[in-house]
Amino acid sequence: MERRTLARVEPPHTQWQLSAEDADPGDDLVGVGADLAPGTVLAAYRAGLFPMHLRDDNDDELLGWWSPDPRGVLPLDGVRITRSLKQSMRRFRVTTDHAFQEVMQACADQDRSGRWITPQFLTTYVHLHELGWAHSVEVWSGDGSLVGGLYGIEVGGLFAGESMFHTERDASKVALVGLVRHLNSAPDPDRLLDVQWQTDHLATLGVIEVPRLEYFDRLKTAVQLPPVFVVPEVLWEPH
């Protein structure tokens, strides 16, 4: 049965020119400045960039625009599910777009190391969620508590993962598996799951690195595909 696609609402176009086409190979930071208006953020993802703050030599916070080289991506046919993770998956209820703001707030917890999600980011991405561009996967315990999740931006067949969290063992991994399964509900070899950087942890789950120019080529094709996040869904129940 064909999936019903809900219309995304385009925000006002940005005044900024965002591109990493001329960035030096290996340089992840490709720009500083601009703003976090929804139109700017969407234009960035379409150009292969994403925003994240950084600090300068005077410890002042600046808005950076990043395009890692190489780029971390998770092949949708390459996610690694261990026996213990498969057992953990049975314990949880997994949903999409049931608690976007709560997931992002948990990812922005100021007690987490490496925190970078500011109130301004929260405002922008919640707005993008309301416009139909930002989405979440939630993981719920048996008592109905939110114990894990992730969020990101979906533009066509690109899902750009931004952050994830867990308060119970394996809950963030379960969210990632839920995301992959959801994206595979409309299978297409050109669909693209971007995770920004490959870390040791993400590598154990199947994340690989691709050169930036290859990522750009794949991005141009992916954004032409229909999106998968169309309505809030229940991916699976505890079993």
Distance CA 96, CA 127 (A): 17
Closest CA to 183 of 106, 74, 43, 88: 74
Q: How far is CA 155 from CA 37, 64, 72, 160, 191, in A?
A: 16, 21, 17, 8, 10
Q: How far is CA 35 from CA 18, 31, 51, 52, 110, in A?
A: 11, 12, 9, 11, 22
Angle between helices 100-107 and 119-131 (to 10 degrees): 160
**Which pLDDT tens digits describe the chain residue by residue (239 residues)?**
344 456 799 999 999 999 998 899 999 999 999 999 999 999 999 999 999 998 777 767 899 999 999 999 999 999 999 999 999 999 999 999 999 999 999 999 867 655 779 999 999 999 999 999 999 999 999 999 999 999 999 999 999 999 999 999 999 999 999 999 999 999 999 999 999 999 999 999 999 999 999 999 999 999 999 999 999 999 999 98
176 φ/ψ angles, rounded to the nearest 5 degrees: -65, -40
Distance CA 157, CA 219 (A): 9
Distance CA 83, CA 89 (A): 10
> What was the pLDDT predicted at 2?
44
Eight-state DSSP code of residue 112: S
CB–CB of 40/18 below 8 Å?
yes
Angle between helices 119-131 and 38-46 (to 10 degrees): 80
Q: Which CATH architecture has domain 71-236?
A: 3-Layer(aba) Sandwich (3.40)
> What was the pLDDT predicted at 158?
98
Helix (H, G, I), strand (E, B) or coil at 153: strand
192 CB-contact burial (10 Å; exposed 0-12 / middle 13-18 / buried 19+): buried
How many Cβ atoms are within 10 Å of 49's Cβ, its own excluded?
A: 22
Question: Over the Cα atoms of the chain, what is R_g?
Answer: 17
Report domain extents, the chain: 71-236
Residue type, 95: T
pTM of the entire predicted model: 0.94
Distance CA 195, CA 71 (A): 8
> What was the pLDDT predicted at 59?
66
